[in-house]
Structure 1
Amino acid sequence: MATAVVSGRVDAQVKARADAFIRAAGLSSGDVIRVVWERIARTGEIPDAGDGAEQFDAAPDSLERLGELRASFGSCEDLVSLDDNQMRDMIASRYA
């Protein structure tokens, strides 16, 4: 499957808050963007930000695939609280 890069600009504070929720859910911003774009491609409907979060619900098949992906990585609860240096140390210790 060929891929393409999608980029956009978001207020820095909005990004920081959203990133925290996304990481806590065990996802990446790329996962969220992919789900939204897949839904638009499947339905032909563009979510209206004024309609609330229910417009951004992923398709059941996309959610199922994301759930399977999350399960394959195991628990990430301990990783969410790590800062960048702690994460680097943990990764480095696996290859020492």
Structure 2
Amino acid sequence: MKERYSRAAFLMLAFSLLLEPVSLAAALSDDKGGYESQAAAKLKQSNELQSKIDSISDEKRAKRSSTRRTRASSRMRRSSPHCSRTTRRSRRS
């Protein structure tokens, strides 16, 4: 009788050890799916942020260009012979 119990215990132990990798593989498969969905969500979020960064960079570039054009036209007006400052200076002399 004791031998039967020890044999049954051995078989139960062997059976549980054989099933453990299967259940572990199933758990890892579930985790993998979860990680893949998290990675996809993070990639989407990253792409959205990169799009915002690019948009802001384009706006900044446009403002710089506009500022440069404004400054250049201002310099051109100041250097022209019909500038009001030049006229005022020549009147004082």
Q: TM-score, normalised by structure 2?
A: 0.19
**Structure having the higher Rg:** 2
In terms of fraction of residues, the more helix-rich structure is 2
Q: Which has the higher contact order (CA 8 A, sep 6+)?
A: 1
Q: TM-score, normalised by structure 1?
A: 0.19
